[in-house]
Amino acid sequence: MKNMTISDIAAKAGVSKATVSRVLNSPEMVEGSTREKIESIMKEYNYTPSATARNLSKQVSSTVGVIVPEISNSFFGTLFSGIEEITNKNGLSLLYCSNEDNEKKDLMALELMKTQRVRGVFYVPAVNYPAMGKKKKIQKELESLGCPVICIDRDIALPFDTIHFDDRKAMKNAVISLAEAGHRRIAVINGNSESSVLASERYDGYLEGLKAVGIEMDEAFVYQGVYKQSYAYLAAKELFQKKEQPTAVITCNNNLGRGYLQAAAECGTADLYTHVSLDKIEMLDLLKIPHNYIERDSYELGKKAAELLISRIAFPEKRIQNILMEAPLIRETY
């Protein structure tokens, strides 16, 4: 259902738009029974007042929402730049919001977007809603926005346009590449594969890679926690103390990569293991220090996502698209 407007509310209540506006801005100026009638209609139709007068009068916003887990993460910072390149050309402004991989904050961010009556939303789901039995709930929340939604980076099988990287294939290829270079003990530091769809895809790719080269999975080499630098730091410290050591380590995002490198530097073991990071480590790249990484071009991801939104706004009835982008392995040290 489309968003209700002041005109719609006024017509249903049999009053002027000015009266509805007064209920919203100065309710004490409106006679009690009239105010209650208008408020009842607003509640019935789940009316959310727009944050700007321009949106109320034109019913068209030039603002597009962006909801991501971490605004400070360089992957998403570069993603923003890609989105901006396209939205700026189309006269759209951006409203950023972080859900911090938290369901409650995710719903709060969506409520903010509803209040702002955004023209569209770029959305990175905070959690694996289908695995939690909450797919219908989040779908309903997104549909209530009344605008196009582009799901980015994480595919949780929602009926909206989706664009993301083929992390599963990328992880599989990384394991095979390491095995072909002679590595048989390959450790992985990942997020929680039960709560994170990304962690699940990456773990499945890791297992498929091991199977493809005939290596039996060793639980002692598998770490699954949270996508935080502090977690990878502690996991790597523990890994370095094991009796049987890996010869290669894969970290499953840039935060985990930094945590691993911090621990390796402190323990003086940086040269003992071949390291592959999913996502480039910015500081190593800046200092031109060779490293191995799975390249996920988030700038290009942002551009393509924005182009998808512009197309969806222009052609709202077209078939839903699910775009899968390649993530090649960049080898610089082995």
Domains parsed from the chain with CATH numbers: 6-47 (1.10.260), 61-165+298-327 (3.40.50.2300), 167-294 (3.40.50.2300)
What is the distance between the alpha carbons of residues 146 and 316, in angstroms, rounded to a whole number?
Answer: 12
Residues in the chain: 334
pLDDT of residue 55: 41
In tens digits, what is the pLDDT along the chain, a chain of 334 residues? 556 778 888 899 999 888 887 787 667 778 888 988 988 888 888 776 654 433 434 455 789 999 999 988 999 999 999 999 999 998 899 999 999 999 999 999 999 999 999 999 999 999 999 999 999 999 999 999 999 999 999 999 999 999 999 999 999 999 999 999 999 999 999 999 988 999 999 999 999 999 999 999 999 999 999 999 999 999 999 999 999 999 999 999 999 999 999 999 999 988 899 999 999 998 898 899 999 999 999 999 999 999 999 999 888 888 999 999 999 999 999 9
User: Strands, E, within the chain: which ranges?
Assistant: 63-68, 93-98, 120-123, 149-152, 161-165, 186-191, 222-225, 248-251, 274-278, 292-294, 322-325, 329-330
Q: Which residues contact 223 (CB under 8 A, 6 or more apart)?
A: 187, 188, 189, 190, 232, 235, 238, 239
What is the distance between the alpha carbons of residues 7 and 14, in angstroms, rounded to a whole number?
Answer: 10
Q: Give the pTM.
A: 0.80
- The tokens of 145 are what? 């926005």
CB-CB contact of 274 with 183 (8 Å): yes
pLDDT of residue 125: 96
CB-CB contact of 169 with 202 (8 Å): no
What is the distance between the alpha carbons of residues 125 and 196, in angstroms, rounded to a whole number?
Answer: 10
pLDDT of residue 32: 86
Per residue in 112-139, pLDDT (tens digit) is: 999 999 999 999 999 999 999 999 999 9
pLDDT of residue 114: 93
pLDDT of residue 56: 39
Q: How far is CA 231 from CA 43, 54, 95, 253, in A?
A: 45, 46, 30, 12
pLDDT of residue 253: 95
Angle between helices 74-89 and 298-314 (to 10 degrees): 40
Nearest 5°: the CA angle 149, 103, 85 is 35
Per residue in 233-283, pLDDT (tens digit) is: 999 999 999 999 999 999 999 999 999 999 999 999 888 999 999 999 988
CB-CB contact of 27 with 35 (8 Å): yes
- Provide the CA 187 distance to its chain's centre, in angstroms: 26
What is the distance between the alpha carbons of residues 77 and 311, in angstroms, rounded to a whole number?
Answer: 23
For residue 313, the surrounding DSSP H or E stretch is helix 298-314
What is the distance between the alpha carbons of residues 261 and 281, in angstroms, rounded to a whole number?
Answer: 10
- Provide the CA 169 distance to its chain's centre, in angstroms: 19
- Provide the CA 154 distance to its chain's centre, in angstroms: 6
pLDDT of residue 100: 93
Longest dimension (CA), the chain: 81
